[in-house]
């Protein structure tokens, strides 16, 4: 899924210098980005693709009805805690209520099908063998980032300074068959099928086309069952 103004295979390269200890700057990076290079993210299924993108807007547990702040303790016109969200939404009037996406969010995006190269390899990052190889190769570097050990929780976390360090190491590897890895395969943190970080190596090298290709994309409809499922799962609405 991508905004049409950018297209599916035209991301901007990341800066050659990492944000370092700047937590806010890291928020713009994704999990398997490589400094100075371009990365496209995809998923095995539409449902997981929706989950990966909509996860940024997911309703927090504290914001579920009946949890969190009881507004009735502070406002006379709210009779009980369960009425809190309803009252807030009413106050918003013509504005979008919390956890609601405008129709323009859908209109600005298309769902694309990415065709990856028919030969070559993606590194499956969360296997025991991969985690062992990471620890042996760059364990000391990761220890400087206060990483006690490599495990699935770390590889699925928001610690971009760690995952991008790992990604840069994998990006620079030459595989046993003499090829370079196409990217990284990893499980979605929201559950479900695999996701893919696809490195656009040929574009980075200034060549005229990529080995990975894309179709023209399809519209995102409100009634798409996969879209509706993820919206409901995350406590969201979309016009």
Residue with tokens 């095995």: 44
Residue 98's pLDDT is 78
Instruction: Give the structural domain span for 44.
Output: 2-56+108-219
Number of domains observed in the structure of the chain: 2
Are 52 and 152 in the same domain?
yes
Question: Looking at the domain assignment, is residue 238 inside a domain?
Answer: no
Model confidence, pTM: 0.85
Are 112 and 151 in the same domain?
yes
Residue 61's pLDDT is 78
Residue 137's pLDDT is 97
Question: Looking at the domain assignment, is residue 226 inside a domain?
Answer: no
Are 94 and 207 in the same domain?
no
Are 65 and 144 in the same domain?
no
Are 19 and 125 in the same domain?
yes
Question: Looking at the domain assignment, is residue 87 inside a domain?
Answer: yes
Are 147 and 207 in the same domain?
yes
Question: Looking at the domain assignment, is residue 236 inside a domain?
Answer: no
Token representation of residue 156: 């699925």
Residues of the chain with pLDDT under 70: 64-96
Question: Looking at the domain assignment, is residue 239 inside a domain?
Answer: no
Question: Looking at the domain assignment, is residue 228 inside a domain?
Answer: no
Are 37 and 87 in the same domain?
no
Are 40 and 116 in the same domain?
yes
Question: Looking at the domain assignment, is residue 169 inside a domain?
Answer: yes
Are 161 and 183 in the same domain?
yes
Sorted by sequence, the CB contacts under 8 Å of residue 74 that are 6+ apart come out as none
Question: Looking at the domain assignment, is residue 103 inside a domain?
Answer: no
Are 125 and 191 in the same domain?
yes
- State the angle between helix axes of 160-171 and 128-143 in degrees (0 to 180), rounded to the nearest 10: 110
Are 87 and 190 in the same domain?
no
Alpha helices in the chain (DSSP H): 23-26, 46-54, 84-92, 103-107, 128-143, 152-155, 160-171, 201-204, 225-234
Question: pLDDT of 159-175, one tens digit each?
Answer: 999 999 999 999 999 99
Are 20 and 115 in the same domain?
yes
Q: Point out the domain boundary residue: 77, 98, 119.
A: 98
Token representation of residue 174: 């030459």
Residue 81's pLDDT is 54
- Single out the residue of 192, 194, 193, 191 nearest to residue 183, CA to CA: 194
């Amino acid at each position: 899924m991508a905004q049409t103004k950018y297209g599916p295979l035209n991301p901007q390269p990341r800066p050659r210098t990492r944000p370092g200890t700047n937590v806010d700057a890291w928020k713009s990076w994704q999990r398997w980005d490589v400094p100075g290079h371009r990365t496209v993210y995809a998923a095995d299924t539409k449902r997981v693709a929706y989950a990966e993108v909509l996860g940024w807007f997911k309703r927090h547990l504290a914001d579920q009805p009946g949890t969190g702040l009881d507004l009735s303790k502070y406002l006379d016109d709210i009779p009980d805690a369960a009425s809190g969200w309803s009252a807030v939404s009413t106050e918003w009037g013509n504005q979008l209520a919390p956890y609601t996406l405008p129709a323009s969010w859908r209109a600005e995006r298309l769902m694309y099908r990415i065709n990856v190269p028919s030969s070559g390899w993606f590194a499956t990052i969360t296997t025991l063998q991969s985690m062992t190889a990471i620890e042996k190769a760059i364990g000391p570097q990761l220890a400087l980032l206060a990483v006690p050990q490599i495990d699935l929780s770390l590889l699925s976390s928001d610690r971009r300074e760690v995952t991008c360090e790992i990604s840069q190491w994998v990006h620079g590897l030459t595989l046993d068959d003499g090829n370079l890895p196409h990217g990284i395969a990893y499980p979605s943190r929201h559950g479900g099928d695999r996701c893919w970080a696809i490195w656009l190596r040929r574009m980075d090298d200034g060549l005229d086309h990529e080995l990975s290709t894309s179709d023209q994309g399809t519209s995102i409809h409100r009634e798409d069952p996969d879209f509706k499922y993820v919206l409901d799962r995350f406590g969201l609405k979309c016009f």
